[in-house]
Structure 1
Amino acid sequence: MQTAPKSDPKWLLWLDNLAIAAWGVLILKYWLNGKLRILIHPAYTWLCVAAAIGFLLVATWKSLQLWKRRRLPIVPQQHISLFPPGWSSALLLLAAFAGLVITPRPFTSQVALERGVTDALAITRVEPQSFRANLNPEDRSIIDWTRTLSVYPEPDAYAGDPVDVVGFVIHAPDLPENYFIVARFTITCCAADAYPVGLPVKLTDERQAYPPDTWVRVRGKILSAVLQDRRQVAILAEAIESVPEPENPYSY
């Protein structure tokens, strides 16, 4: 026997509007304070901002409709939901409030170790239009080096080339104590697909002097090293200095 549809209390409809508006405010806040770039590729910023404005317009329009009809009975609606009435909107609202209170942070070295650090991009991630082979070696960023190594991975071809890169420190457990990895996360679409790329750095002392997640500028020369049972490119460090975390910590 089919149950007759029941009308939703008006406060549930207001809760729906509040949840939609809260997400619009959250996205705009991240855009204005520069934190949106931690969550999504800059190419999609305009889409997020347009969606946020759309959320606010829809919430405003629906709220005006509710206010005009506040003394009229609500037309019963029948729909299928996995949650009791109001739960979905309440969860969305709580998530938005949490986002307003908690400041998003870039991924850490622990996340990099969990996702696996590489010194070359997978073939599906190499962007020929972004590959600039004519760059001087000392002008290459970490992502430029990884693109270069993706095209031609022979370590001896780069031996002696000068290096000047900025990234965060990773203590890889399978590297000797006089090595750390200087790395950056790169984003294809959003933070969900962010993956770390980096280069091993050979030190004159032990890596404990450079704590994980510290941002550093590494200057030195390329050498061919045998690490993890394979020959690969590494940086022979000549100077390492701490630097502030960049305003935009990711590469694209």
Structure 2
Amino acid sequence: MLSLIGTAATLWLALTGKLELYIHPRYVPFTVSMALLAAAVSIAGFIMRQERSEDPGHPDAGVPVPGRLRAAGSLLMVTAAVLGLLILPPSPLTAEAANHRDLNRSGTLSRHQTSDLLRNDPGTFTLRDWASLLRYSPDASYFADKKPTVTGFITADPQDPTNVFYVTRFVVSCCTVDAQPVGVPVRAPGWQTQFKTGNWVAATGGFGPNPNPESTNPILLTDAQITPTTEPERPYLH
């Protein structure tokens, strides 16, 4: 029963496009195939068990029905599975999860991949690309005439939470278990009066030097136009 519930949940998530909230899109076909295979095996196993129990000569024939306690436990497990997999709506990782993971570490591109970006059109860059460039900062002059728009949810800068926040998103390589946050720092003194941590925003601005000498972010978005926005249908970067 649990296997069939899991299969139903997987197929429902795939049909509604929500399975990508748990795994990378490239693994969706494989996951759906394995779910269907598991369902077929479960059904075949149930049929074989029924046939054995109806065979008078089989050792399992005549075995008493499980007691009330075992039945209640099974019902509780099935109820929990239905509630968790089929009723409660799936939700993406939040700013709270980002605060417990290292920002702009394993989620950014490698130094070599970031160097390759310099040959590409900045108009095609994602938030992850900009976060990678800021991490490896090829040269301050590179950012002089750039004015990107980045979209993500707000996480406060732990070094200067009053004046700086990150426009943040998660990068998923395999599944949400390995998801890593990346973000672009935005200088906006007093931002808490207009926004809260976790709010989705679109920020457009130019890059400039960070006036905080103790910050590990020498360059950030300054004088940015910050607009509230809704969470996109696909909140993760891949």
| The two structures share one fold, judged by TM-score above 0.5 | yes
Q: Does 1:172 align with 2:157?
A: yes
Q: Which ranges of structure 1 fall in alignment gaps of 5 or more residues?
A: 1-17, 77-84
Between the aligned partners of 2:115 and 2:138, the Cα distance in structure 1 is 17
Between the aligned partners of 2:115 and 2:74, the Cα distance in structure 1 is 42
Question: Residue 22 of structure 1: SS of its match in structure 2?
Answer: helix
Indicate if the aligned counterparts of 2:159 and 2:215 stay in contact, CA closer than 8 A: no
Q: Deviations over 1:125-155 (max 9, x none)?
A: 6684996434433442211112334554544
Between the aligned partners of 1:120 and 1:69, the Cα distance in structure 2 is 53
Aligned pairs for 1:1-252 within 5 A = 18-72=1-55, 75=59, 93=78, 96-97=81-82, 98-118=84-104, 121=107, 128=113, 132-149=117-134, 152-203=137-188, 205-225=190-210, 227=212, 228-252=214-238
Question: Residue 230 of structure 1: SS of its match in structure 2?
Answer: coil
Q: Deviations over 1:59-92 (max 9, x none)?
A: 221222234344225546xxxxxxxx89997786
**Number of aligned pairs?**
227
> Which moved further from structure 2: 147-156 or 54-63?
147-156
Between the aligned partners of 1:108 and 1:64, the Cα distance in structure 2 is 43
Indicate if the aligned counterparts of 2:104 and 2:132 stay in contact, CA closer than 8 A: no
Residue type at the aligned position of 2:39: L
Q: State the shift of 1:93 in Å.
A: 3.9
Question: Residue 31 of structure 2: SS of its match in structure 1?
Answer: helix
Indicate if the aligned counterparts of 2:106 and 2:180 stay in contact, CA closer than 8 A: no
Q: State the shift of 1:115 in Å.
A: 0.9
Q: Deviations over 1:196-246 (max 9, x none)?
A: 110111126533311121111111101121555334321114311111110
Indicate if the aligned counterparts of 2:114 and 2:133 stay in contact, CA closer than 8 A: no
Indicate if the aligned counterparts of 1:185 and 1:196 stay in contact, CA closer than 8 A: yes
> Which moved further from structure 2: 49-58 or 62-71?
62-71
In structure 2, the residue matched to 1:9 is: none
Q: Give the TM-score normalised by the residue count of structure 2.
A: 0.80
Indicate if the aligned counterparts of 1:156 and 1:224 stay in contact, CA closer than 8 A: no
Q: Which runs of structure 1 show a deviation greater than 6 angstroms over 4 or more consecutive aligned residues?
A: 85-92
Q: Give the TM-score normalised by the residue count of structure 1.
A: 0.76
Question: Residue 210 of structure 2: SS of its match in structure 1?
Answer: strand
Question: Residue 218 of structure 2: SS of its match in structure 1?
Answer: strand
Between the aligned partners of 1:95 and 1:47, the Cα distance in structure 2 is 26
Identity of aligned residues (%): 26
Indicate if the aligned counterparts of 1:177 and 1:207 stay in contact, CA closer than 8 A: yes
> Which moved further from structure 2: 220-229 or 102-111?
220-229
Q: Which ranges of structure 2 fall in alignment gaps of 5 or more residues?
A: 61-69
Q: Deviations over 1:171-201 (max 9, x none)?
A: 2343142321101000111111111110111
